[in-house]
Amino acid sequence: MRTGRGRRSGQRAQAAIEMALVLPIMIVIVCGFVGMMLELRAENEFQTAVDLAAQATLVPPLGDQAASEADSAYAFSHTFNPYSSESGYLSVTTPVNCEGPYLEGEIDLNAQGIPAPVTCTAQADLDFSKTPISIFWFWSIKLSTTAEAYPSQYRQCQTTSGSASAYQC
Amino acid sequence: MFGLFLVALMAILDTWIWTIETDAADASVEQGIGVAMSAAGSATSTTPALTDVYASVLPLLQQPMLGTSVEDWYAANLAALRGEIGPNACPTSDQVADYFDDLHSGYDGVGHVVVCAVNDGAGHVTVAITGYALSMVPPGVGPFNWRGWGLPISETASVNVGTYSP
């Protein structure tokens, strides 16, 4: 027959074993979820920066490649900025790079009359070792993002570069 | 054991809420930039349409902010904060929270985000959504010196001012 003291001791041991079993699982679930949310956030922030960079290439007139590149770089660096909530663990490995006929002063219309887009790409590293969940999730993830922007009719006007355009300024 | 489970549950819920809120802020900033960057008045105008941003992003922000008040940077009740920050910059999350704390609105100024759109005076337009959204993090428990019952929201974008026609 077990005494009261023996029963209490057994209960404590049982609780300790349960804790030892459940705690790691709980930590994995919490860290995994937080990590997943951080990744979603980072991807969204990065995508927004590349989207705006693509749109910014279309602010200067057709064929002004230097201005388009400068505007795109400005939009990217000031959207994906060091003061945002992702600072510290999200770093750009390949800065935004944009390509498209618009930058060369060309408007390539397809069969539906839609101009070829400007396509921008960039890459970044999401370093989980610098996040609060680094104890469990300590490796990096590479993010790669692409965005497209289509020149408006106003931006398809003939310019000094002499490109052909369906639209008149 | 139950306390630990509760903390884990709150951490998961808060992270989820923060992700929803900051994603909405991201989308709103992107849309706000499109509205702000040009065409106040005419297609060739280079005056940014700064005061149109709030109305255009409010439908995107209001529901995902889950009870947090979305404020217009150009509203009369923020005149004092505008005067303090100046016409060419947007406030930080802490400046917004401090301002509302001084007005005794919300615990520690939490529960307000500001939609701000300004021209920096050098040919760039900046749209920012900053403040502290409501959360379940008790005071002194959150990471990074976060405010009690608040999640920091700070999304900013900046582009050159453009025109819709050459």
SS3 A30: helix
**B48-103 tens-digit pLDDT:** 788 889 999 999 999 999 889 999 999 999 999 999 999 999 999 999 999 999 99
In tens digits, what is the pLDDT along chain A, a chain of 169 residues?
A: 556 677 788 888 888 898 888 888 888 888 888 889 888 988 998 999 999 999 999 888 888 889 999 999 999 988 886 455 556 778 889 999 999 988 888 888 888 878 889 999 999 998 888 877 887 788 889 999 999 999 877 777 654 454 455 555 4
Q: What is the pLDDT of residue B80?
A: 95
Instruction: Give me the residues paired with residue A98 across strands.
Output: A120
Half-sphere exposure of A165 (CA within 13 A, CB side): 24
Structural domain including A84 reads 4-156
Q: Which secondary-structure segment (H or E) carries B118?
A: strand B112-119
Query: Alpha-carbon distance A138 to A35, whole Å?
Result: 10
**A90-137 tens-digit pLDDT:** 888 999 999 998 888 888 888 887 888 999 999 999 888 887 788 778
Partners of A60 on chain B (C-beta within 8 Å) are: 162
User: Looking at the partner chain, which of B18, B26, B37 has a beta carbon nearest the beta carbon of A45?
Assistant: B26
Q: Which secondary-structure segment (H or E) carries B151?
A: strand B150-160
User: Could you tell me if residue A147 is inside a domain?
Assistant: yes
User: Could you tell me if residue A25 is inside a domain?
Assistant: yes
Q: What is each CA distance from B20 to A72, B23, B45, B63, B92, in whole angstroms?
A: 27, 5, 35, 10, 20
User: Could you tell me if residue A166 is inside a domain?
Assistant: no
What are the respective helix, strand and coil percentages of chain B, to the nearest 5? 40, 20, 35
Partners of A62 on chain B (C-beta within 8 Å) are: 166
Give, as one character, the DSSP assignment of residue A132.
T
Which residues lie below 8 Å from residue A38, measured CB to CB, with a gap of 6+? A89, A126, A128, A131, A133, B15
- Could you tell me if residue B50 is left (phi over 0), alpha (psi between -120 and 50 degrees) or otherwise beta? alpha
Please tell me the total count of domains within chain A: 1
B135 neighbors B127 (Cβ within 8 angstroms): no
The closest alpha carbon to B33, from A107, A66, A58, belongs to A58
The closest alpha carbon to A120, from A49, A45, A39, A43, belongs to A49
**The dihedral formed by the CA atoms of B136, B54, B161 and A123, expressed in degrees to the nearest 10:** 30
A157 Cβ under 8 Å from any chain B Cβ: yes
**Residue A80, min C-alpha distance to chain B (Å):** 8
Q: What is each CA distance from A20 to A13, A16, A82, B2, B7, in whole angstroms?
A: 10, 6, 40, 14, 17
Partner-chain contact A30 B154, CB within 8 Å: no
CA-nearest residue to A41 within chain B is B19
Instruction: Give me the residues paired with residue A140 across strands.
Output: A127
Instruction: Give me the residues paired with residue B133 across strands.
Output: B151
Mutation target to probe the B interface, by most B beta carbons within 10 A, among A23, A31, A58, A59 is A59
User: Could you tell me if residue A168 is inside a domain?
Assistant: no
- The predicted model scores a pTM of 0.83
Give, as one character, the DSSP assignment of residue B42.
S
Q: Which secondary-structure segment (H or E) carries B132?
A: strand B124-134
User: Could you tell me if residue A15 is inside a domain?
Assistant: yes
Q: Which long-range contacts (CB under 8 A, 24 or more apart) does A91-94 make?
A: A91/A124, A91/A125, A91/A127, A92/A122, A92/A123, A92/A124, A93/A123, A93/A124, A93/A125, A93/A142, A94/A121, A94/A122, A94/A123, A94/A124
The closest alpha carbon to A59, from B166, B157, B30, belongs to B166
User: Looking at the partner chain, which of B19, B37, B156 has a beta carbon nearest the beta carbon of A37?
Assistant: B19
The closest alpha carbon to B116, from B77, B93, B90, belongs to B90
Query: Alpha-carbon distance A95 to A73, whole Å?
Result: 8
**The dihedral formed by the CA atoms of B1, B5, B7 and B9, expressed in degrees to the nearest 10:** -170
B126 Cβ under 8 Å from any chain A Cβ: yes
Q: What is the pLDDT of residue B113?
A: 96
User: Looking at the partner chain, which of A41, A71, A85 has a beta carbon nearest the beta carbon of B160?
Assistant: A71
